[in-house]
Amino acid sequence: MVTTSEPGTVSPDRLLPADPTTRAIARELLTCVEDLPIVSPHGHVSASVIADDEPFADPARLLVTPDHYVTRLLHANGASLAALGVGNADADPRAIWRAFCAAWPVFDGTASANWLVSELADLFDVREVPSRESADRLYERIAARLGEPALRPRALVQSFAVEVLATTDDPLDDLAAHHRLAADPTFTARVLPTFRPDAYVDAATPDFADRVDRLIAQAGEGRSGYDGYLTALRGRRQHFLEAGGTAADHGVRAPRSLKLEAPAAARLFDRVRRGGATQDDRDAFEAHMLYEMARMSVEDGLVMAIHPGSLRNYDPDTYARYGPDTGHDIPVPVEFATGLRPLLADFGNAPGFHVVLFTLDESTFSRELAPLAGFYRGVYLGSPWWFLDAPDAMLRFRAAVTETTGFSRYGGFVDDTRAFCSIPARHNVARRVEASFLARLVAEHRLTLTRAREIIVDVIDAAPRRAFKL
Amino acid sequence: MVTTSEPGTVSPDRLLPADPTTRAIARELLTCVEDLPIVSPHGHVSASVIADDEPFADPARLLVTPDHYVTRLLHANGASLAALGVGNADADPRAIWRAFCAAWPVFDGTASANWLVSELADLFDVREVPSRESADRLYERIAARLGEPALRPRALVQSFAVEVLATTDDPLDDLAAHHRLAADPTFTARVLPTFRPDAYVDAATPDFADRVDRLIAQAGEGRSGYDGYLTALRGRRQHFLEAGGTAADHGVRAPRSLKLEAPAAARLFDRVRRGGATQDDRDAFEAHMLYEMARMSVEDGLVMAIHPGSLRNYDPDTYARYGPDTGHDIPVPVEFATGLRPLLADFGNAPGFHVVLFTLDESTFSRELAPLAGFYRGVYLGSPWWFLDAPDAMLRFRAAVTETTGFSRYGGFVDDTRAFCSIPARHNVARRVEASFLARLVAEHRLTLTRAREIIVDVIDAAPRRAFKL
Amino acid sequence: MVTTSEPGTVSPDRLLPADPTTRAIARELLTCVEDLPIVSPHGHVSASVIADDEPFADPARLLVTPDHYVTRLLHANGASLAALGVGNADADPRAIWRAFCAAWPVFDGTASANWLVSELADLFDVREVPSRESADRLYERIAARLGEPALRPRALVQSFAVEVLATTDDPLDDLAAHHRLAADPTFTARVLPTFRPDAYVDAATPDFADRVDRLIAQAGEGRSGYDGYLTALRGRRQHFLEAGGTAADHGVRAPRSLKLEAPAAARLFDRVRRGGATQDDRDAFEAHMLYEMARMSVEDGLVMAIHPGSLRNYDPDTYARYGPDTGHDIPVPVEFATGLRPLLADFGNAPGFHVVLFTLDESTFSRELAPLAGFYRGVYLGSPWWFLDAPDAMLRFRAAVTETTGFSRYGGFVDDTRAFCSIPARHNVARRVEASFLARLVAEHRLTLTRAREIIVDVIDAAPRRAFKL
């Protein structure tokens, strides 16, 4: 009586609500957006991977090692990161793959399982469940195909129907890979850089002073100190704008802004740059620079994206051995209203200013983010991010913000991924979630089906273009 | 196959859950309360509007300008508040109305859309969707009816089946409008004043010292300083009680209480009244006065309602130009347990003491509010408020508090509105939400239908009377 | 058309979702676990009650007085705790029972109503709703059966199919009751002690210095001061291990850890033990001792369970009159990431170290707990606890953590109860909730039914054994 999918199959109704009326509406809404191109305004795929267009090395390096959603849960269940190839180029890819397949059941119910099942089916026509038993067979099958031209990065970007893909880049990056891609007439996707100045603002970054000095030396136009620093940041933002960039991304610990007068800011800069500043000094500098970069955004038009509230590199031992982005960044409570007040008071309604607010703390959805985005012209709601980038969490986001702000203040879905092949799966999940949410509103007579059809297209396609100025 | 409402129609099943079994139960429960009179224990409609009984000026001044839920979202989407008539009596009502209708899609999915569609249909028989195209037509149709006797304030209050409507009033208000209404034998609704002392407690209020001086001069019975201040507050509370008032409302920043001995309190009062007190002093004074007014509530029986956690007048430029209550009050995290402990320790179980706790921070529903209301005899759960006054948020409230406290500790639905015509729509939504929640419990065999029928009547009708002593 | 249960009946579908497809799957999943033995790794039933095996005194003393979930809500609705027998051995059990039955409607919708209906039906075959009218009849019926051998504690433990039942015990407990039970060859359940050192760590405990002195005197092996204190704690942990204990439980105010070097820790211990230490000192000592006991857990293998974030004995008057655990412990916001960092940095991935993190603050589910458990090998997700130990809250927990961590990091259901007879009802509810959650994932094609069948067995049966080393 109970009909469910067989292992490994990808149901056309996956993620849609069980109630038959609602599901039928969701299906209909999904057809409005399922084939739209992908607009990805924020992510961590490297432009040079696409520009170089080398075949992917092996299944493990493609699907396991670079995906810290995957490696972290394998680690929690006993694997060592080194054995998964993290920071370890010598690890045997077959061994990595076997460890991954054998541990497959730990992913049941996770967002990652969802994405991986889609990737295996859609890219490699693999519909078998990974397991200790199937590991070698799947490895052969995937590895055999990685040499195919259709599975090289540029071809994949195009077959994914990616129209825009934003990368995240160091301010001193020459953006050569972006220029190479733009110069390829056969490659139609727009791969755009995003200005990410965190390492030049957060004094806890290793070699912070050296970085700052290098920034000023390269782009300070001969000025020094705080003046050279601001000049260099402005200059590099211009460099990103010229390469097609539309956004600056800020991974601050706290969404805190502070307006200092120039002399006080210059003294603070000197203390922080020299090292030995207190934590309070460093926090104040980060908060002041968030304010200053909002001012720059008003001037030069770069959209400001704020991704706050993660305690990065939480585990000191893992950080020492494997470096950053290895699965142990842990969220903390955040508070937007008080922290962003100086910035929003001065720039929140400024013409052309856009700030997209992301959060890892769900309690801020209805408490602060919807109220802010429902008043300030410049504030857009970032899509559920990172640990919240999953169907149930995305539905909670929608339910929490829509009653206050409707759909017009949404910043568009952001896949935020380093896992290149998961991009279409992630966008597909977002489309299914929007269809499910809207279908419920239609089924509950809170919205007409006609409007829901228009809204889902707006949310999926127009929203990221609008918020990120694409 | 998918049947949904046509644009602008108001389905009898709106907001009810899609599952057919649950919906059938919800429908049945709704019939138990749909026609009950409206008991509105807290709101912001002005008594003089009802007492003066002037026809409403025009559609824009009735439905758009005074509703900051509406103007704020129009502002976020580009309208200027001045162009919407906020603080601008000269704005052309037709232009306001056109701007509103043209932007109608931004309200899709919001609580406001829900209320507005009901208002247009129920009051003006308008079932057409507002749009740029329909704007003038709808304006004419509504404007033509505003002169009808049935659409004047007193007639509307009666046709809304309002039995009790509480207003929110300045302590020095003479309550003449309330007395005029009470003296009208043809007007059967009880319009009751609510004592709102915020402007005499929060030293950030403009002209705070003048206000306090005026309070003491008018009602201090010849005493001065802190003694005169307390005397005046007590006297004015008596004045409200004599006019039928049953509650005092406290819009404090934080739900914090502090017990100071009289000499220390008097010194603090002097510092705060003189101006130049520190923020800590002002916070301590507010916390102490919350404690003192709980003591007064124990003495005189006024129900204490606490509406904390909003950073009011967030945007300084908007505040300077348009004043308070113009759509930019932003919630912040709140913490009830530690903050209210002194107050609850001394008065929480005192005979006759009632305190209704509201919140804009959903994380407090299950963490603090349900546990407090499930122990203290005096603590009642305020209904979801302001940004949370919408179907999904109300269901989250119910799901978060009911498993700990059941239904007996509920303070009753509060429409909290300045938008006069939205009152019946808001109460109708609350009834539909309660029916939906209870229907789920019945469908999941967690409650009998017999009890659910009794509970919905208790929740809608008896709860506000009980908590607010009506 | 609407079919619902009659009053007092216990539907086989209770708590299962209303959607027919999802319910059918849930029913099928429930059959996989409904008859599994009970593994209860944390609770507050006293071992001596079972060892002594005296018949329960009367219905009130069995079902009302010891259950602070019940007495607190009766208190909120006007009953005095003394009249309910709390701290009052003289209270007439019939009067208590009548008060309880008369107030029965206040429990509608609560977790307690759920449990109580099951207990009455399953233990006493009572299917009538408690009411003022039925009170005496039910009392007679239950009282008449309390003398039966089948209703004495040991028989009940066995008929409940309890395989493991952990108690919570003072470090100086001789564990004689546990030894008596272990020595009974006819009693097959394992009743295991849990080491709960709070009263020897939290200096706010009455007679703190005396307790600490007694601890050192009894188990310090002749050492004194901080050295004797640590020696005694280590020794008593060993005593618990020898009696079959597998866990230590820490009911700290905040989940905060602090690593102090031994000399600084010894000085802090002296200050705190002498009395007169500041609150900061006492907090630092608690945080340091949490760190030290994690170190001990690494050494001796006791699982660490942390139950933080309750402001205990909130109401001073009630505490003075009735003592602790009388229904007025109130949760406060907690923050795990920053607070536990020193502990997790040093021990979070240590071989064999297990820490099960519980919370009363739902905002931490997705923000901190799932991210921590999804990286650290030693971190397990505690089941929803106390005020969150109810169907809707449990579903929120699952929805909040599963997308990040799947099911593998779950610590197993914990009934945490003092209400002996509610144990099977509570575990049954947990099974129904897991079936409901998994059924939704299956119905939404997020999981196969085959895997859901395996997962529910793992979650119910294997998870608590794994996390608590049973």
Residues C394-420: tens digit of each pLDDT: 999 999 999 999 999 999 999 999 888
* A109 close to C (CB below 8 A): yes
Top residue of A25, A446, A453 to mutate, by most chain B CBs within 10 Å, is A446
Per-residue DSSP letter, B367 = I
Q: Do residue A425 and residue A310 come from a single domain?
A: yes
Q: Is residue C355 part of a domain?
A: yes
**Of A70, A37, A143, the residue nearest A325 (C-alpha):** A70
Residues of C in contact with B339 (CB under 8 A): none
pLDDT digits (tens, 9 = 90+) for C175-214: 999 999 999 999 999 999 999 999 999 999 989 999 999 9
Segment 173-212 of chain C within 8 Å of chain A by CB? none
State residue B4's pLDDT score. Answer: 40
Three-class SS of residue A410?
Answer: strand
Q: Which of A2, A109, A387 sits opposite C25 (nearest CB)?
A: A2
Average pLDDT over residues C100-110: 98
Q: Phi, psi at residue C359, to the nearest 5°?
A: -150, 150
Instruction: Single out the residue in A150, A174, A201 at which a domain terminates.
Output: A150
pLDDT at B6 over 60: no
Angle of the C423-443 helix axis to the C391-405 helix axis, nearest 10: 50
pLDDT digits (tens, 9 = 90+) for A167-226: 999 999 999 999 999 999 999 999 999 999 999 999 999 899 999 999 999 999 999 999
Residue A358 Rama label (left phi>0; alpha psi -120 to 50; beta): beta
Cα-Cα-Cα-Cα dihedral sign, residues B346, B348, B349, B355: positive
Top residue of B31, B344, B367, B381 to mutate, by most chain C CBs within 10 Å, is B367
Is residue A111 within 8 A of residue A14, CB to CB? The reply is no
Q: Alpha helices of A14-104 — where are they, by DSSP H? A: 20-33, 47-52, 59-63, 68-76, 93-102
| Residue in C closest to A319 by C-alpha | C345
How many domains in chain B? 2
State residue C251's pLDDT score. Answer: 97
pLDDT at C59 over 80: yes
**Of A395, A386, A369, A267, the residue nearest A327 (C-alpha):** A386
- Round to whole Å and give the CA distance between B322 and B332: 22
Cα–Cα distances in angstroms (integers) from residue B265 to residues A61, A187, B197, B257, B291, in the given order = 68, 74, 17, 13, 11
Neighbour tally for C155: CB within 10 Å: 14
pLDDT at B1 over 90: no
Instruction: Single out the residue in B148, B182, B214 at which a domain terminates.
Output: B148
Strands C355-357 and C303-306: what pairing? parallel
Per-residue DSSP letter, A169 = B
A333/C402 Cβ within 8 A: no
State residue C3's pLDDT score. Answer: 39
Return the partners of chain C (3 or more C-beta pairs < 8 Å). Answer: A, B
What is the distance in angstroms between the Cα of B411 and the nearest Cα belonging to chain C? Answer: 13
Strands C330-331 and C310-311: what pairing? antiparallel
Is residue C162 within 8 A of residue C423, CB to CB? The reply is yes
pLDDT digits (tens, 9 = 90+) for B202-241: 999 989 999 999 999 999 999 999 999 999 999 999 999 9
Top residue of A9, A328, A396, A436 to mutate, by most chain C CBs within 10 Å, is A328
Domain housing B77:
58-148
pLDDT digits (tens, 9 = 90+) for B153-182: 999 999 999 999 999 999 999 999 999 999
Is residue C200 within 8 A of residue C209, CB to CB? The reply is no
| Residue in C closest to B18 by C-alpha | C19
CA A75-A80-A81 angle, 5° bins: 80
Amino acid (one-letter) located at A25: I
Is residue A47 within 8 A of residue A53, CB to CB? The reply is no
Domain harbouring C64, CATH code: 1.10.2020.10
C363/B403 Cβ within 8 A: no
pLDDT cut 70: percent of chain C above it:
98
What is the distance in angstroms between the Cα of B244 and the nearest Cα belonging to chain A? Answer: 34
B363/C333 Cβ within 8 A: yes
Three-class SS of residue C99?
Answer: helix
- C94 — pLDDT class (breaks 50, 70, 90): very high
pTM of whole model > 0.95?
yes
Segment 376-435 of chain C within 8 Å of chain A by CB? 376-377, 379, 399-400, 402-409
State residue C9's pLDDT score. Answer: 62
Domain harbouring B273, CATH code: 3.20.20.140
Q: Do residue A162 and residue A116 come from a single domain?
A: no
Q: Is residue B19 part of a domain?
A: no
Residues of A in contact with C19 (CB under 8 A): 18-19
Q: Do residue B414 and residue B433 come from a single domain?
A: yes
Is residue C175 within 8 A of residue C162, CB to CB? The reply is no
| Residue in C closest to B341 by C-alpha | C314
Q: Do residue C118 and residue C221 come from a single domain?
A: no
Three-class SS of residue A163?
Answer: strand
Locus of tokens 């502002």: B75
Q: Do residue C206 and residue C85 come from a single domain?
A: no
A406/B4 Cβ within 8 A: no
Q: Do residue C135 and residue C172 come from a single domain?
A: no
Average pLDDT over residues C249-266: 97
Q: Is residue C145 part of a domain?
A: yes
Q: Do residue B323 and residue B271 come from a single domain?
A: yes
State residue B275's pLDDT score. Answer: 87
Average pLDDT value over all residues in chain C = 96
- Round to whole Å and give the CA distance between B234 and B299: 10
State residue A3's pLDDT score. Answer: 39
pLDDT digits (tens, 9 = 90+) for C287-329: 999 999 999 999 999 999 999 999 999 999 999 999 999 999 9
- C5 — pLDDT class (breaks 50, 70, 90): very low
Amino acid (one-letter) located at B140: E
User: Which residues, 6 or more positions from A186, have their beta carbon under 8 angstroms from its beta carbon?
Assistant: none
Q: Do residue B313 and residue B400 come from a single domain?
A: yes
As to burial, measured by CB atoms within 10 angstroms (0-12 exposed, 13-18 middle, 19+ buried), residue B227 is middle
Average pLDDT value over all residues in chain B = 96
End-to-end alpha carbon distance in chain A:
49
User: Which residues, 6 or more positions from B348, have their beta carbon under 8 angstroms from its beta carbon?
Assistant: B355, B376, B377, B378, B379, C315
Q: Is residue B51 part of a domain?
A: no
Q: Is residue B30 part of a domain?
A: no
Cα-Cα-Cα-Cα dihedral sign, residues B270, B272, B277, B278: positive
* B445 close to C (CB below 8 A): yes
Q: Which of C18, C108, C362 sits opposite B19 (nearest CB)?
A: C18
Element housing A381 (H / E): strand A379-381
Residues in chain B: 470
- One DSSP character per residue, B156-214 reads HHHHTTEEEEE--B-TT---HHHHHHHH-TT--SEEE-EE--GGGT-TTSTTHHHHHHH
pLDDT cut 70: percent of chain B above it:
98
- Round to whole Å and give the CA distance between B99 and B38: 32
Tell me, letter by letter, the H, E, C secondary structure of chain A.
CCCCCCCCCCCCCCCCCCCHHHHHHHHHHHHHHCCCCEEECCCCCCHHHHHHCCCCCCHHHHHCCCCHHHHHHHHHCCCCCHHHCCCCCCCCHHHHHHHHHHCHHHHCCCHHHHHHHHHHHHHHCCCCCCCCCCHHHHHHHHHHHHCCHHHCHHHHHHHCCEEEEECCECCCCCCHHHHHHHHCCCCCCEEECEECCHHHCCCCCCCHHHHHHHHHHHHCCCCCHHHHHHHHHHHHHHHHHHCCCCEEEECCCCCCCCCCCHHHHHHHHHHHHHCCCCHHHHHHHHHHHHHHHHHHHHHHCCEEEECCCEECCCCHHHHHHHCCCCCCCEECCCCCHHHHHHHHHHHCCCCCCCEEECCCCCCHHHHHHHHHHCCCCCEEECCCCHHHCCHHHHHHHHHHHHHHHCCCCECCCCCCCCCHHHHHHHHHHHHHHHHHHHHHHHHCCCCCHHHHHHHHHHHHHHHHHHHCCC
Residues of B in contact with A400 (CB under 8 A): 362, 392-393
Q: Which residues of chain A have pLDDT under 70?
A: 1-9
- Round to whole Å and give the CA distance between B409 and C76: 8
What is the distance in angstroms between the Cα of B147 and the nearest Cα belonging to chain C? Answer: 46
Q: Is residue C87 part of a domain?
A: yes
A8 or B149, which is more confident: B149
| Residue in C closest to A78 by C-alpha | C377
Average pLDDT over residues C366-381: 98
Q: Is residue C43 part of a domain?
A: no
Q: Which of A19, A367, A409 sits opposite B333 (nearest CB)?
A: A367
Top residue of B16, B22, B446 to mutate, by most chain C CBs within 10 Å, is B446
Instruction: Single out the residue in B148, B177, B211 at which a domain terminates.
Output: B148
State residue C4's pLDDT score. Answer: 40
pLDDT at C1 over 50: no
Q: Do residue A141 and residue A177 come from a single domain?
A: no
State residue B9's pLDDT score. Answer: 62
Q: Is residue A16 part of a domain?
A: no
B371/C331 Cβ within 8 A: yes
Q: Alpha helices of C109-243 — where are they, by DSSP H? A: 111-124, 135-146, 153-159, 176-183, 208-219, 225-242
Q: Do residue B141 and residue B158 come from a single domain?
A: no
Return the partners of chain A (3 or more C-beta pairs < 8 Å). Answer: B, C
A18/C443 Cβ within 8 A: yes
Tokens of C122: 């399953």
Q: Do residue A137 and residue A165 come from a single domain?
A: no
State residue B29's pLDDT score. Answer: 98
- Round to whole Å and give the CA distance between C97 and C103: 10
Residues of C in contact with A328 (CB under 8 A): 375
Q: Alpha helices of B18-150 — where are they, by DSSP H? A: 20-33, 47-52, 59-63, 68-76, 93-102, 111-124, 135-146
Tokens of B34: 């749909």
Tell me, letter by letter, the H, E, C secondary structure of C333-383.
CCCCHHHHHHHHHHHCCCCCCCEEECCCCCHHHHHHHHHHHCCCCCEEECC
Cα–Cα distances in angstroms (integers) from residue B400 to residues B338, B406, C322, C394, in the given order = 20, 10, 28, 11
- Round to whole Å and give the CA distance between B50 and B64: 19
Average pLDDT over residues B63-68: 94
Tokens of C157: 């433990």
Q: Do residue C166 and residue C91 come from a single domain?
A: no
How many CB pairs lie under 8 A apart between chains B and C?
Answer: 158
Residues of B in contact with A455 (CB under 8 A): 108-109
pLDDT at B79 over 50: yes
Q: Phi, psi at residue B432, to the nearest 5°?
A: -65, -40
